[in-house]
Amino acid sequence: MALPGVREVIAKLITPAVCATALHHCFVAADPAEVAFLAGQQYGVRATSEGRAAYLATLRDVRRDFTVGAPAYRAAIAQWSRPALVIHGCQDPVVPLAHAEAVVRGLRRVERRWLDPCRHFPQIEHADAVDDWLGEFAFAGAGR
């Protein structure tokens, strides 16, 4: 998808079934109703010319961010002094765990929560745990 021209061709081939298949791989145990809902939302956005352009821009920028932009991101993270909560699925096929671990290493005041098994949507796959962690983090922040 990072090769010029390839992503444009593939973007035009996106169908509801393609979206559903891709989303299915973002869950450890995909719920068909959840995947159908998300695919419906994703396809609706990516089927428009504006949506397709935004999707392609994201793909281009993500690659550049992880290569050319990496030093700037590391420097910005090192400057961050506020508390941070990083929640990540250990089996995420979209954002590798190594990237989340690098962010955690760069932060000064961080709580890390790795979910296993979990892929790209911890807020869906482990909603109760994520809700609890966000509540605890926000409540603790009120006393800081």
Domain extent at residue 92 = 70-142
pLDDT band at 15 (very low <50, low <70, confident <90, very high): confident
Q: What's the whole-number average pLDDT of the chain?
A: 87
Residue-wise pLDDT tens digits, 20-79: 998 999 999 999 999 999 988 877 777 777 877 787 788 778 778 878 888 998 899 999
What 3-state DSSP class applies to 67? coil
Helix ranges (H only) for the chain are 6-12, 16-24, 32-46, 49-66, 70-79, 97-106, 122-125, 127-142
Note whether 60 and 106 are same-domain residues: no
Q: Are residues 59 and 109 in the same domain?
A: no
DSSP state of 107: -
Greater pLDDT, 139 or 59: 139
90 neighbors 97 (Cβ within 8 angstroms):
yes
Residue 76 and residue 59 share a domain: no
- The phi, psi pair for 62, rounded to 5°, reads -60, -45
Q: What is the CA radius of gyration of the chain?
A: 17
pLDDT at 40: 87
Confidence of residue 86 (pLDDT cuts 50, 70, 90): very high
**Number of compact structural domains in the chain:** 2
